[in-house]
């Protein structure tokens, strides 16, 4: 069960958009037991698509293609399918009826000739009905390789995949499982972690593959295995995780692939505690991180983005004297911000940020990169000052990481 993904689109080849469709498809195919051996982005030229398709025949069982199915001139996938499978286009009445109803309801006028063409499909293809848009998907087979084509609009691609292709896959491809288990470590570098894990790694059974995924401040360890017996695979990975030596284990923050905000949210939920934010240089990003998931109102009380100095005074209630005496980027102001946020939002914990993310100096005389973070808890309040370098994006992201690390340690304290 090998699969590949082909994305058609010049907009990806010139770096205008990020290819998130492939990420979605790769994850879903992996969960369905496929080994995704290649993801390829190519131009929407006819010859590029033909070459890419030809290279997959016989090497994989399933090829999923996205893009090039719209109503405009730059969309050529259907023509390529006809040539590649020696077929011709015919009007599919069911698709045409669907497109007609959809567009005439929307535009309140008869459907155009361009849009009627969306009902054309290769005569021997299996049509993958698009319940949420106009361009249908299609499925055709050459030798033992199944080719599937989806429109590139993510919402439509996902809907057709789930509604039409998943049932087909479950019927035609089964019996193999991919198991991945990801462990999150914070506060240790990749190479030191690899040193601590060297003996353990050397003793892993050959069917378990280990990967290191480093990012700033964090290393993810992924253990993967593949086979027919799902329970055995799971148990075998769990057994190895139990054997991770204490030198490395103490840096583990989660045994699943979640981000730091989610780790903190879990700790808040266990304790039935709430959090709020008073953000200057992080501009609301902390608040957003804590209200992305459903049910966030049980632990997230709110936040204020007090970007202008006067809003720190007027809305949050920071003392103007404190700002005059210590400047707006100071531990003293960070302490008052966190204290006020915790009081006013009636939360158990609060994080505040005030700093100069650059590129030029703001309301403060502090140099670019200086950030003060305040932490208010039921046990008291404190602040820390950091020089987080530059550019702006890095300062903001580092401030968020520091704030999360500080509050995490406080929440874990009794």
Site for its own copies in 267-296 (CB under 8 A): 277, 283-285, 287-288, 291-292, 294-296
The only residue of 30, 50, 267, 331 in contact with its own copies, by rule CB under 8 A: 30
Alpha-carbon gap, residue 348 to 301, rounded angstroms = 9
Query: Which C-beta is closer to its own copies: that of 134 or that of 140?
Result: 134
Question: Which tokens is 16 given?
Answer: 């205008």
Site pattern 311..340 for its own copies (x: CB under 8 A): x--xx-------------------------
The only residue of 346, 380, 409, 412 in contact with its own copies, by rule CB under 8 A: 346
The only residue of 195, 199, 365, 367 in contact with its own copies, by rule CB under 8 A: 195
C-beta of residue 407 within 8 angstroms of C-beta of residue 275? yes
Q: Restricting to residues 2-21, which ones interact with its own copies according to CB under 8 A? A: 10-20
Query: Which C-beta is closer to its own copies: that of 112 or that of 131?
Result: 112
The answer to whether residue 216 forms part of the interface with its own copies (CB under 8 A) is yes
Q: Restricting to residues 374-413, which ones interact with its own copies according to CB under 8 A? A: 392
The only residue of 301, 352, 374, 375 in contact with its own copies, by rule CB under 8 A: 301
Query: Which C-beta is closer to its own copies: that of 140 or that of 276?
Result: 276
C-alpha distances in Å from residue 332, one per residue of 161, 235, 328: 54, 52, 9
User: In what helix (H) or strand (E) does residue 267 lie, and over which residues does it extend?
Assistant: helix 260-271
Site pattern 140..159 for its own copies (x: CB under 8 A): -------------x-x----
For residue 334, what are the contacts with CB-CB under 8 A and spacing of at least 6? 352, 353, 354, 372, 373, 374, 383
The answer to whether residue 349 forms part of the interface with its own copies (CB under 8 A) is no
For residue 336, give the nearest of 348, 350, 357, 346 by alpha carbon.
350
Beta bridge partner(s), residue 355: 371
Instruction: Output phi, psi for 18, to 5 deg.
Output: -85, 135
The only residue of 1, 8, 32, 42 in contact with its own copies, by rule CB under 8 A: 42
The only residue of 94, 104, 238, 310 in contact with its own copies, by rule CB under 8 A: 310
Reduced to 3 states (helix: H, G, I; strand: E, B; else coil), residue 274 is coil
Residue-wise DSSP of 91-127? E-HHHHHHHHHHHHHHHSSPPPHHHHGGGEEETTPEE
Q: Restricting to residues 237-256, which ones interact with its own copies according to CB under 8 A? A: none
The answer to whether residue 103 forms part of the interface with its own copies (CB under 8 A) is yes
């Amino acid at each position: 069960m090998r699969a590949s993904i082909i994305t058609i689109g010049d907009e990806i080849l010139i770096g205008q958009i990020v290819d998130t469709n492939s990420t979605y498809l790769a994850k879903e195919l992996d969960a369905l037991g496929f080994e995704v051996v290649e993801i390829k982005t190519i131009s929407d030229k006819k010859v590029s698509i033909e070459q890419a398709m030809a290279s997959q025949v016989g090497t994989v069982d399933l090829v999923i293609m996205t893009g090039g199915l719209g109503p405009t001139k730059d969309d050529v996938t259907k023509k390529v399918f006809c040539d590649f499978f020696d077929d011709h286009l015919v009007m599919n009445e069911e698709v045409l009826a669907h497109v007609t109803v959809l567009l005439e309801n929307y535009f309140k006028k008869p459907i155009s000739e361009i849009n009627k063409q969306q009902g054309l499909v290769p005569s021997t293809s299996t049509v993958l009905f698009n319940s949420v848009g106009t361009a249908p998907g299609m499925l055709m087979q050459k030798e033992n390789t199944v080719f599937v084509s989806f429109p590139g609009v993510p919402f439509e691609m996902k809907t057709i995949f789930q509604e039409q292709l998943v049932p087909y896959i479950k019927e035609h491809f089964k019996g193999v499982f991919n198991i991945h288990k990801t462990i999150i470590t914070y506060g240790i570098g990749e190479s030191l972690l690899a040193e601590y894990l060297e003996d353990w790694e050397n003793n892993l059974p050959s069917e378990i593959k280990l990967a290191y995924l480093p990012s700033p401040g964090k290393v993810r360890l992924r253990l993967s295995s593949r086979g027919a017996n799902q329970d055995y695979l799971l148990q075998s990975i769990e057994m190895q995780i139990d054997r991770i030596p204490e030198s490395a284990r103490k840096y583990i923050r989660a045994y699943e692939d979640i981000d730091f905000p989610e780790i903190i949210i879990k700790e808040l939920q266990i304790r039935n505690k709430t959090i709020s934010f008073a953000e200057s240089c992080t501009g609301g990003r902390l608040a957003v991180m804590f209200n992305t998931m459903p049910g966030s109102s049980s632990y997230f009380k709110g936040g204020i983005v007090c970007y202008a100095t006067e809003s720190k005074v007027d809305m949050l209630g920071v003392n103007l004297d404190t700002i005059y005496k210590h400047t707006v980027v100071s531990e003293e102001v960070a302490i008052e911000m966190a204290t006020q946020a915790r009081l006013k939002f009636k939360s158990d914990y609060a994080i505040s940020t005030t700093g100069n993310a650059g590129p030029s100096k703001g309301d403060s005389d502090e140099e670019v990169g200086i950030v003060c973070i305040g932490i208010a808890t039921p046990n008291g309040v404190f602040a820390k000052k950091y020089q987080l370098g530059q550019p702006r994006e890095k300062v903001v992201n580092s401030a968020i990481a520091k704030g999360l690390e500080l509050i995490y340690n406080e929440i874990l304290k009794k």
